[in-house]
Structure 1
Amino acid sequence: MEDIEDLVVGTGAPPGFRLPLTAVGVNLKKKKSNKLSQTSPSPEIPGTQSDSEYMAGQLSAFGYSIIDNPESADLWLINTCTVKSPSQSAMDTLIVKCKSAKKPLVVAGCVPQGSRDLKELEGVSIVGVQQIDRVVEVVEETLKGHEVRLLNRKTLPALDLPKVRKNKFVEILPINVGCLGACTYCKTKHARGHLGSYTTGSLVSRVKSVIADGVKEIWLSSEDTGAYGRDIGVNLPTLLNSIVSELPPDASTMLRIGMTNPPFILEHLKEIAEVLRHPCVYSFLHVPVQSGSDAVLSVMNREYTVSEFRTVVDTLTELVPGMQIATDIICGFPGETDEDFTQTISLIKEYKFPQVHISQFYPRPGTPAARMKKVPSTLVKKRSRELTSVFEAFMPYDGMEGRIERIWITEIATDGIHLVGHTKGYVQVLVIAPESMLGTSAIVKITSVGRWSVFGEVIETINHMNVKSASRKDISSQDKCSPCSDPNECTCTREPEPCASCGPESCGGQTTLEESAPSRNPTFPEDPNSRNLIGWLLRKRKNHVHKRVEGEIASGSKEKQEWARGSMGEWGVVDKALLGGMLVSFLTIMALLIHLGVRTLSSN
């Protein structure tokens, strides 16, 4: 299942390593064989992908199965996002195509919820963002020829609905819907409404359930993670600590905290930093700034200043070893001057964020910003290109080559060769390893770095079952990987061995490789030639190929991906000549040594 948002590649997003984009459908295994084509949201849009997985799960539970060819479908189901104008334009295109093919259609998500009177939605069944638990009845009524519209609801959908995960190792867990903000450009508030938080108990229960199902990463999803619980009398640190206490002590399941705006985490920075230091939590946070100018932020009604954003970034970077922060920028917001844009450029240059999601301003109908005087589109595009060039000039992973890192592997790269893992700082690492390593963690050596990711060589896998059995039998519930309050002093348990099993990063990088993995199974031993001339030349050749492969994967073309496959497994003429020359030299030296030895013996 893919979303229309995936059809629009966002500027500044790391390209090339997503799973293949294919529209899919669902086949109804009943007396009448009906097929439903579905599209689903991008993982970059909070909440929407989780909605798609829940809808797919319910349809599957009622006898529907996903099919690959939408053209043969009897009904299309489109889950929409209203964050970006191109997304809605893509939706309009799909609706026209569906109507031309005379297919029954159901549109779900933010667009119909926030703009229910759109002309394009006439004669179409629609499901609101809080009605996803009724998607089966909407589909079945639509197949009967009825138009159904479900948009209003006062309670949140249950978290334990049937679900089909896009990635079986990743659980996308919505912690709340809606938000407390009132950004002048945002349409999502119109669609998802005021803040509505799930209870801590229900979320912890869901975490326990998905861990038992074999999930290896839990992504908290929200329009604004930092605002969690303010409507029900709790706060984000309370939730995070409750979830962390349930994570396996061997760090076999990792937590990734979702996008958060600056205002609501300012008062909790130290508590959040403590959680981010935890060995079972990725040291990564997505904090949108949107502009480096206070004047623009004020017109956006973002409710914070650039100085406060800096406080968030500086505090987390100081308190969390290896902290990685991603951010967002909107170019060409109404009223943005050259000076405002210069301030944005300066902010990005100063911090050199490893990920910056750059978008051009698009007026969303019904928002205050849509009535403001626009910056000329040519200037907006020019600024977007300039900021993209500045961002892409950074090499955020320089210095990682040669480092030993623990990674968690959860997907296959689009080239079909590499597996994709992430370090504790959520740096993307590409490794060549068997698919059986999906859902595991490993110790890798970083062999080369690229612009969007790094390449690694697997040294050892981590056997979580052995780690668990090796832990003290008398570990109590409160001993489950409690957060490290000091980056140089891990307090996972009282014993050093179980603490080390949480990973080499758990104590601020102070543990040694031998200490941090008492029960790893070696699968890729180090090359015995690693210290001689031949080994050095082979590694240099491999690093050169890695850098070229990353570029070809990022380009996305089939021809270049085929080249990448060949490059990783075949030797060119120069390579063969080099290896042959070294072999001849080696044999010549051996012959000379034997000859000298024989002469010495004969002379005696």
Structure 2
Amino acid sequence: MEDIEDVISSGPPPGLRLPLTSLSMKSRRKPKARPLQDDINPSPLIPGTQTIFVKTFGCSHNQSDSEYMSGQLSAFGYALTDSPEEADLWLINTCTVKAPSQSAMETLISKGKSAKKSLVIAGCVPQGSRDLKELEGISIIGVQQIDRVVEVVEETLKGHEVQLLSRKTLPSLDLPKVRKNKYVEILPINVGCLGACTYCKTKHARGHLGSYTVGSLVERLRAVISEGVKEIWLSSEDTGAYGRDIGVNLPILLNALIAELPADGSTMLRIGMTNPPFILEHLEEIAKVLRHPCVYAFLHVPVQSGSNAVLGAMNREYTVSDFRTVVDTLIRLVPDMQIATDIICGFPGETNDDFRRTVALIKEYQFPHVHISQFYPRPGTRAARMKKVSSIEVKKRSRELTSVFESFNPYKEMEGRIERICITEIAPDGVHLVGHTKGYVQVLIIAPDSMLGTSADVKIASVGRWSVIGEVIRIPKQAEIRAALDDPVSNACEKPYSCMCKPECSSKISTVDVSSTENGWGPTFIASMKPLLLRRRRKDSIPRSKDTIDRAERWIRFDFSWLDRMLVCGIAVSLLAIAVLLSRLLPEAVAVKYV
């Protein structure tokens, strides 16, 4: 559950490319003779006609960067694919936090070279380790140069090696974007941080703190809400440090953003990761924000260790007592508050006693989310030169802490409760939809895809270690109609799957208690829908059945609009007129026949 995130960059508008003299290019290979192609297939030399595979490693900030790069490539005409085999070029957005993610990058680069694919490497690895041997002969683009990805891709496809790493002003927030989840916007609020942790390689890539202005962030929030986004994640290396470089602070930003959120709660805000030092100054103001109906009562606060000695060696700039103050204050002031945290096991110099303090801290608070990581020495960091704990001991401590964490049952008190959830995604099993409570607890429900982007009231039927199972008891009426018809497009709104994307649509939505049998939408109907919904989903639709359509048609007869009624009356009158006419003409025709 890492929220170590970043930013995007300003530059030329989509389709307008800067002079290529500003790029550092090397001729990687001589152009090969290509066979003549017919008029149907575009020439591979024409920019914007190729297919791109984008692979992202790391945090949600990296995911946002990839979405921005994908948006620019798509706007320029490039096709995006999830199949690496079909792609002409692979764009790999890398993470340098831990050795395994960098190893995965190196493996993918090797596969790309073997498949003779054009490669562009983006993200923290090339920015923080530009002399890495694995990057030799490959085009690279830095974390603050993503607004020029089209240029780099174009030149790479021509056979040139491009290196674009120089830093500049913060990238623009209004670049084209292709979201992985169309209902979730990852909004970077700043880049870099003010810390100097001894183990952190990300600081080498992301640099010092650079915050976006409140005005630019508010403008971006307005734009994404108008596009139908239902969750907005604030992304940052350290959310609590926001604004210290431009004379503002986090509460000022949060209050400005909250003022723009729809009053009906159709769009929720999630605050990103924050280290303890800077949020300590604003705890009561942050608690007030977290109590707001449109803000998830959830915060990611890494502690890393339960020992002050280890925190000192990490140069974390806070104590265990400071962390306790943050957690205790938020739990006291915010109902149903959920805290996530991080632990590094086996940091250099960590003794058995230090580790026991960490275990005791985790047992005391029983956090619902703990990201447990073994220490990985990152080249160029101070911690890489410290005396290491044996790898056997590091793995042992990691396994022990994981076992302790997995023994918790943090959601046991939720069983039987009624919760309002915001539904934004399909679960990995392809069967359930995923919604989140106010405390950002994951709720799995059986429901049609047409409920994506909507809210619902659910009863928690059972609880598990990582999520809970909910039964829908109240859903938007329009979503019910679309569920029955298996039609993802609402007639009341131009945007699919949601009737809350416009105020005028939202005002028309009524809620229906599906626990009752009124209008035929009681438990019997929901039960009859379950076999249909339990099938695996195909992208944006679920399989249709004749019974489902017949039930929907029977129900809709009781909910005609005034225009429908006029049409029905007109048809009835026409049929009656035809019948009268036939009743007069038929006897005359029979009489003529017999004469």
Residue 250 of structure 1 corresponds to which residue in structure 2?
264
Alignment of 1:299-314 (within 5 A): 299-314=313-328
Distance 1:163 1:65 in 2: 14
Distance 1:193 1:172 in 2: 20
RMSD value, Cα: 2.5
Alignment of 1:320-335 (within 5 A): 320-335=334-349
Residue 456 of structure 2 corresponds to which residue in structure 1?
442
Residue 584 of structure 1 corresponds to which residue in structure 2?
none
Deviations 1:149-185 (A, max 9, x none): 1111220110000000000000000000000000000
Residue 192 of structure 1 corresponds to which residue in structure 2?
206
Whether 1:179 and 2:193 are equivalent positions in the alignment is: yes
Preserved contact between residue 122 and residue 143 of structure 2 (Cα < 8 Å): yes
Whether 1:204 and 2:218 are equivalent positions in the alignment is: yes
Whether 1:315 and 2:329 are equivalent positions in the alignment is: yes
* Match among 327, 349, 360 for residue 363 of structure 2: 349
Q: Name the amino acid aligned to 2:52.
A: L
Whether 1:39 and 2:55 are equivalent positions in the alignment is: yes
Alignment of 1:23-422 (within 5 A): 31-32=43-44, 33-42=49-58, 45-422=59-436
CA deviation after TM superposition for structure 1 residue 73, in Å = 1.8
CA deviation after TM superposition for structure 1 residue 363, in Å = 0.2
Preserved contact between residue 30 and residue 63 of structure 1 (Cα < 8 Å): no
Distance 2:517 2:464 in 1: 23
Count of matched residue pairs: 458
Distance 1:338 1:421 in 2: 40
Residue 572 of structure 2 corresponds to which residue in structure 1?
none
CA deviation after TM superposition for structure 1 residue 100, in Å = 1.7
* Match among 525, 548, 551 for residue 515 of structure 2: 525
Distance 1:410 1:293 in 2: 38
Distance 1:265 1:444 in 2: 33
Preserved contact between residue 57 and residue 101 of structure 2 (Cα < 8 Å): no
Report the secondary structure of 1:47's partner residue: helix
Distance 2:245 2:441 in 1: 34
Report the secondary structure of 2:414's partner residue: coil
Preserved contact between residue 291 and residue 344 of structure 1 (Cα < 8 Å): yes
Q: Name the amino acid aligned to 1:522.
A: V
Preserved contact between residue 147 and residue 171 of structure 2 (Cα < 8 Å): yes
Pair 526,329 (structure 1): closer, same or farther in 2 beyond 3 Å: farther
CA deviation after TM superposition for structure 1 residue 309, in Å = 0.1
Preserved contact between residue 443 and residue 462 of structure 1 (Cα < 8 Å): no
Report the secondary structure of 2:160's partner residue: coil
Distance 2:397 2:94 in 1: 28
Q: Name the amino acid aligned to 2:56.
A: S
CA deviation after TM superposition for structure 1 residue 47, in Å = 1.6
Alignment of 1:506-585 (within 5 A): 520-522=510-512, 524-526=514-516
Distance 2:215 2:151 in 1: 29
Unaligned runs of 5+ in 1: 6-28, 466-500, 502-516, 529-533, 543-548, 550-557, 559-564, 566-604
Distance 1:463 1:233 in 2: 47
Distance 1:179 1:244 in 2: 24
Question: Considering only CA atoms, is the larger Rg found in Structure 1 or Structure 2?
Answer: 2
Deviations 1:410-439 (A, max 9, x none): 000111111000000000000001100000
Preserved contact between residue 112 and residue 127 of structure 1 (Cα < 8 Å): yes
Preserved contact between residue 306 and residue 354 of structure 2 (Cα < 8 Å): yes
Deviations 1:288-318 (A, max 9, x none): 0000000000000000000000000000000
Report the secondary structure of 1:411's partner residue: strand
Preserved contact between residue 60 and residue 186 of structure 2 (Cα < 8 Å): no
Deviations 1:222-260 (A, max 9, x none): 000000000000000000000000000000000000000
Q: Name the amino acid aligned to 1:92.
A: E
Bigger relative contact order, structure 1 or 2 (CA pairs below 8 A, ≥6 apart):
1
CA deviation after TM superposition for structure 1 residue 41, in Å = 3.4
Distance 1:176 1:299 in 2: 26
Distance 1:35 1:247 in 2: 37
Distance 1:230 1:526 in 2: 54
Residue 458 of structure 1 corresponds to which residue in structure 2?
472
Pair 351,31 (structure 1): closer, same or farther in 2 beyond 3 Å: same
Preserved contact between residue 46 and residue 223 of structure 1 (Cα < 8 Å): no
Deviations 1:477-533 (A, max 9, x none): xxxxxxxxxxxxxxxxxxxxxxxx9xxxxxxxxxxxxxxx996421632589xxxxx
Preserved contact between residue 110 and residue 191 of structure 1 (Cα < 8 Å): yes
TM normalised by structure 1 equals 0.73
Q: Name the amino acid aligned to 1:36.
A: I
Report the secondary structure of 1:88's partner residue: helix
CA deviation after TM superposition for structure 1 residue 35, in Å = 2.2
Preserved contact between residue 260 and residue 286 of structure 1 (Cα < 8 Å): yes
Pair 449,527 (structure 1): closer, same or farther in 2 beyond 3 Å: farther
Preserved contact between residue 460 and residue 520 of structure 1 (Cα < 8 Å): no
Deviations 1:189-211 (A, max 9, x none): 00000001000000000000000
Q: Name the amino acid aligned to 1:454.
A: V
Percent of aligned pairs with the same amino acid: 76
Pair 290,142 (structure 1): closer, same or farther in 2 beyond 3 Å: same
Q: Name the amino acid aligned to 2:183.
A: F
Deviations 1:98-134 (A, max 9, x none): 1122221100000000000000000010000000000
